[in-house]
C-alpha cells in the first residue's frame, strides 16, 4: 500500500465529527486491558495485535464505505498505521488515523471513558520490593558449545535461587547443579552419555570437586532508561563462580512481571569458558588440535521465573 493513501485526522476534527456524524466508527486498536482503563467515548475495541483483528472487524462492520477513524497510543507508535493499512488493504474506503493517538487526545483534555481515565501509556507493571524465591521447575538454563564441524546443546538444572529487591536495588544468587548437565538433540544414547561424562570430567566442569556453580547479582540497572519490554531493558552485572574460579560478567536481560505477578527474566549471552579454567580444545592453550578443537565461547540462554 502506498504511504500517501493514509489519511490523518486531528483530535479537534475528530471531536467535531463525533458530534455531527452518527455513523462514524471509532476503533481503539490497543489491548483490551488498556481499552477498559481508558478510551475515547463510543470507541469500539479491536486490538491490532489479535490474530483475528481484521476478520472480527469485517464480521461486525460489513459496510466498507462507512467512515472509520482508528487510533493507537502515540504519534511514535505503529498501532494506528498498522490497523489502517490492514483495513485499506481489505478495501475499506474511508479510513483515517487520529493524529497523536490517544496520548494527544488525552493531553487536550477531551472527554474520555473507562475505569481509569487518568492512566498514562506506560503500561509497565513495576516490581515491588521484597524477597523472591526461584521457581526451579519453570526456570531453565540452556547451553550450546561448538567446534568447526558441529555443535552440542543441552541444559543444566537450577538447584535454588533468591532475589532481594529493596529501594529498586536488586541483589540475589542462583545455584546451578552442574551434575545435572544434559545433552539434547536426539543422537545416539551411548555417544551422548560419553559426552556428558566428558563434560563432567576434569577436562571441563570438574564436578567431582565443584558440583555447584553460582551466580551472584552485583547490580541491575535500567538500560539507557529503556521502558521497552521486548528489547533488553536491563543490564545485569554479577560474579559467576565455576570450578572454584570467580569472574565478573555483564549482559542484557529482559525483566518483567507476568500476568500472575511472577518475575520473569530472560537473557542470551556468550561466555568465554577459558576464564573459568576450561581450556580443553582451546587453540589459545594448545596447538595442532585437529578434530579436538573446541571454540572458546559457549552460548547460554537463561529463563528465570519466581514463585
One digit per residue, the tens of pLDDT, for the chain of length 307 reads 444 478 999 999 999 999 998 899 999 999 998 999 999 999 999 999 999 999 999 999 999 999 999 999 999 999 999 999 999 999 999 999 999 999 999 999 999 999 988 766 655 556 788 999 999 999 999 999 999 999 999 999 999 999 999 987 899 999 999 999 999 977 788 999 999 999 999 999 999 999 999 999 999 998 776 666 676 789 999 999 999 999 999 999 999 888 888 999 999 999 999 999 999 999 999 999 999 999 999 999 999 999 9
Considering only CA atoms, give the Rg of the chain: 27
Residue 249 domain flag: yes
Is residue 101 domain-resident? yes
Q: How many domains does the chain have?
A: 2
Q: Whole domain around residue 68: which residue ranges?
A: 3-107
The answer on 199 and 96 residing in a single domain is no
Domain boundary among 55, 76, 107: 107
Q: Given 92, 107, 122, which residue is the final one in a domain?
A: 107
CATH code of the domain in which 52 resides: 3.40.250.10
Are residues 137 and 102 part of one domain?
Answer: no
189 and 236 together in one domain = yes
Residue 186 located in a structural domain = yes
Residue 215, domain member (yes or no): yes
Say if strands 140-146 and 130-133 run parallel, antiparallel, or are unpaired.
Answer: unpaired
**Does 178 map to a domain?**
yes
Rounded Cα gap, residues 163 and 133, in angstroms: 6
Same-domain pairing of 177 and 298: yes
Q: What is the pTM of this model?
A: 0.77
Q: Are 214 and 176 in contact (CB under 8 A)?
A: yes
Amino acid at each position: 500500500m502506498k504511504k500517501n493513501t493514509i489519511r490523518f485526522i486531528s483530535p479537534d476534527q475528530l471531536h467535531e465529527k463525533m458530534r455531527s456524524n452518527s455513523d462514524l466508527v471509532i476503533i481503539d486498536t490497543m489491548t483490551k486491558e488498556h481499552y477498559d482503563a481508558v478510551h475515547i467515548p463510543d470507541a469500539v475495541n479491536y486490538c491490532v495485535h489479535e490474530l483475528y483483528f481484521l476478520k472480527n472487524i469485517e464480521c461486525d462492520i460489513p459496510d466498507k464505505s462507512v467512515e472509520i477513524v482508528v487510533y493507537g497510543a502515540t504519534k511514535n507508535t505503529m498501532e494506528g498505521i498498522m490497523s489502517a493499512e490492514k483495513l485499506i488493504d481489505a478495501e475499506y474506503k474511508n479510513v483515517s488515523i487520529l493524529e497523536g493517538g490517544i496520548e494527544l487526545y488525552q493531553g487536550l483534555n477531551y472527554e474520555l471513558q473507562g475505569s481509569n481515565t487518568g492512566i498514562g501509556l506506560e503500561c509497565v507493571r513495576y516490581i515491588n520490593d521484597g524477597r523472591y524465591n526461584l521457581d526451579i521447575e519453570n526456570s531453565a538454563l540452556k547451553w550450546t558449545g561448538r567446534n568447526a564441524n558441529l555443535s552440542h546443546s543441552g541444559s543444566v538444572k537450577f538447584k535454588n535461587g533468591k532475589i532481594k529487591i529493596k529501594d529498586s536495588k536488586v541483589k540475589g544468587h542462583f545455584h546451578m547443579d552442574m551434575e545435572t548437565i544434559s545433552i539434547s538433540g536426539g543422537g545416539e544414547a551411548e555417544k551422548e552419555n560419553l559426552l556428558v561424562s566428558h563434560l563432567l570430567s576434569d577436562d571441563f566442569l570438574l564436578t567431582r570437586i565443584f558440583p555447584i556453580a553460582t551466580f551472584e547479582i552485583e547490580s541491575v540497572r535500567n538500560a539507557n532508561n529503556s521502558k521497552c519490554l521486548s528489547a533488553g531493558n536491563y543490564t545485569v552485572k554479577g560474579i559467576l563462580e565455576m570450578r572454584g574460579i570467580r569472574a565478573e560478567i555483564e549482559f542484557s536481560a529482559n525483566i518483567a512481571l507476568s500476568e500472575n505477578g511472577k518475575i520473569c527474566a530472560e537473557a542470551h549471552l556468550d561466555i568465554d569458558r577459558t576464564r573459568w579454567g576450561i581450556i580443553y580444545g582451546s587453540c589459545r592453550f594448545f596447538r595442532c588440535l585437529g578434530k579436538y578443537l573446541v571454540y572458546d565461547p559457549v552460548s547460554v540462554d537463561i529463563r528465570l521465573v519466581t514463585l
